[in-house]
């Protein structure tokens, strides 16, 4: 079994030790690691491996022999892996070497349990829907989709923008705001939540449309079915604005035509049996910490 490993980089010596422990456990259980080359080159001198591992550099290097991809870092690192996985149906394992770790929910202290779960197939794969962007100009290369959210945003310090928004061609609202977020259920606990959006269960068939700093306080987030196509027309004093898919960004003109819809394929996130969405909510959002309840 081949398992790919991706990370943006590790600097803390303790994290390097945890990485070495992960590699040792995989090797002991006859699970073959394939490490992201730039990441491996940044830490190989500190790993002291007996033999160099296989590496990968691009999505094309991940073939049908790769059974899982492990993300070492926080949620931002895990979102990077979407560009490597694409539609290959390779499940992602998020080990939290970062801070909050909403998506990367497996603690680094659980490496032994994770490897055992992979070996004995005692894990669960959650299928997560994604958002796909259609545009009349090429945007985001061959990865025009996101796991968390699509956003439109004013550029730099420019004035607020008007975003005329339509559902299946029918007018919904004009958002006069700094920007607009269309999040998946997975992304509902990210940027959308920080802008006042609701928490949505990952298996809900919906999008959340959340304005960013709206001018009108009665404009609230709205949940819509994910079988709708959401399209936009943008006005503003500036001729350019920002368009993002997760952490990837493009600058586009106001004449561009944009629409988002549900992606035709899903992404698989591996979780160990005892870790579920409610467990993550309580642990990461500190629900129940007030003992007076």
Band (282; pLDDT cuts 50, 70, 90): confident
Q: What is the pLDDT of the chain when averaged over all its residues?
A: 91
pTM score of the predicted model: 0.91
Quote the pLDDT of residue 12. Answer: 80
The CATH architecture assigned to 2-129+266-284 reads 3-Layer(aba) Sandwich (3.40)
* pLDDT score, position 176: 95
Residue 17, classified by CB atoms within 10 Å of its CB into exposed (0-12), middle (13-18) or buried (19+), is middle
Residues involved in catalysis: 75
CB 118 within 8 A of CB 271: no
292 pLDDT more than 80: no
**Strands, E, within 156-279: which ranges?**
161-167, 170-177, 179-183, 206-212, 222-225, 230-235, 240-245, 248-253, 258-262, 267-272
Strands across the sheet containing 145-146: 145-146, 131-135, 258-262, 230-235, 161-167, 170-177
Query: pLDDT digits over 223-275, tens only?
Result: 999 999 999 999 988 889 999 999 999 999 988 999 999 999 999 999 886 77
Q: Which of 77, 69, 68, 67 is nearest to 104 (CA)?
A: 77
CA angle 153/129/257 to nearest 5° reads 40
Residue 283 has pLDDT above 80, yes or no: no
- Distance, in Å, from the CA atom of 248 to the CA atom of 258, rounded to the nearest integer, reads 16
Q: Residue 288: pLDDT above 80? A: no
- CATH entry 2.40.50.140 includes domain 131-262: no
Given the DSSP bridges, would you call strands 149-154 and 240-245 parallel, antiparallel or unpaired? Answer: antiparallel
Nearest to 75 by CA among 148, 182, 17: 148
Confidence of residue 3 (pLDDT cuts 50, 70, 90): very high
Reported as a pLDDT band with limits 50, 70 and 90, residue 293 is low
Residue 120 has pLDDT above 80, yes or no: yes
- Tens digits of per-residue pLDDT, 139-160? 999 999 999 999 999 987 778 9
Confidence of residue 184 (pLDDT cuts 50, 70, 90): very high
Is 176 buried (19+), middle (13-18) or exposed (0-12) by CB count in 10 A?
middle
What are the domain boundaries of the chain? 2-129+266-284, 131-262
């Amino acid at each position: 079994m081949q398992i790919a490993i991706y990370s943006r980089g590790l600097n803390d010596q303790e994290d390097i030790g945890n990485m070495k422990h992960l590699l040792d456990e995989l090797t002991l259980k006859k699970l073959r690691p394939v490490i992201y080359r730039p990441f491996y080159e940044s830490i190989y001198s500190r790993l002291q491996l007996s033999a160099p591992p296989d590496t990968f550099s691009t999505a094309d290097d991940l073939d049908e022999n790769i059974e899982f991809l492990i993300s070492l870092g926080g949620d931002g690192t895990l979102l990077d892996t979407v560009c490597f996985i694409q539609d290959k149906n390779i499940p992602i394992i998020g080990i939290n070497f970062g801070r909050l770790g909403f998506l990367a929910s497996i603690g680094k202290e659980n490496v032994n349990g994770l490897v055992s779960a992979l070996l004995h197939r005692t894990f669960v794969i959650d299928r997560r829907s994604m958002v796909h962007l259609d545009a009349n100009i090429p945007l985001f290369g061959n990865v025009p989709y996101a796991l968390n959210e699509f956003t439109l945003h004013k550029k730099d310090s420019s004035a607020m923008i008007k975003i005329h928004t339509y559902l299946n061609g029918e007018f919904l609202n004009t958002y006069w705001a700094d920007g607009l977020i269309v999040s998946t259920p997975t992304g509902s606990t990210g940027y959308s939540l920080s802008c006042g959006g609701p928490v949505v269960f990952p298996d809900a068939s919906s999008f959340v449309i959340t304005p960013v700093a709206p001018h009108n306080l009665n404009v609230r987030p709205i949940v819509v079915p994910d079988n709708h196509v959401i399209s936009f027309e943008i006005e503003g004093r500036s001729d350019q604005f920002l368009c993002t898919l997760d952490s990837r960004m493009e600058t586009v003109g106001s004449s561009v035509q944009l629409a988002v819809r549900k992606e035709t394929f899903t992404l698989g996130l591996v979780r160990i049996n005892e870790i579920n969405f409610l467990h993550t909510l309580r642990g990461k959002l500190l629900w129940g910490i007030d003992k007076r309840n």
